[in-house]
Amino acid sequence: MVKSSKGFRSRSRGTFTKDVRERGLPPVTRFLQKFETGDKVIVRIESSDPHGMPHPRYQGRVATVVEGVGRAYKVTFLDGGKRKWLIANPIHLIPAGSQKAAGAPDA
């Protein structure tokens, strides 16, 4: 038997698979999103852009923006009672409470 891969994107086929009409890169405005300190965001990994991607285990987490780090943002959240931080590009973050976050279909 061959040893299974333990890479960064292993066992994430369902998480990173897009619907047919969502394939390819998202609009440029998703790359240029701005967040303020204290904003609530949801970690929603954009599979078509691997730059600044957080680990797949944090997909769907609600986090708070702490500060900007270059083009990316440092976000924090509680994971089992322990404070954790992520640095992620804005393409992988969406504002909490938006229609996109609720899973509403695109208009």
pLDDT interval class at 107 (50, 70, 90): very low
What structural domains does the chain harbor? 13-95 (2.30.30.70)
Tokens 């992520």 locate to 86
Q: In what order do the strands lie in the sheet with 62-69?
A: 82-88, 72-79, 62-69, 40-43, 93-95
- The average confidence (pLDDT) of the chain is 90
Q: Is the pLDDT of residue 26 over 80?
A: yes
Whole-prediction pTM: 0.84
Q: For 29-51, how does the pLDDT look when each residue is reduced to its tens digit (9 = 90+)?
A: 999 999 999 999 999 999 999 89
Residue carrying the six token digits 């891969």: 5
Residue 4, token pair as written in the block: 């299974």
Average confidence (pLDDT) over 5-28: 90
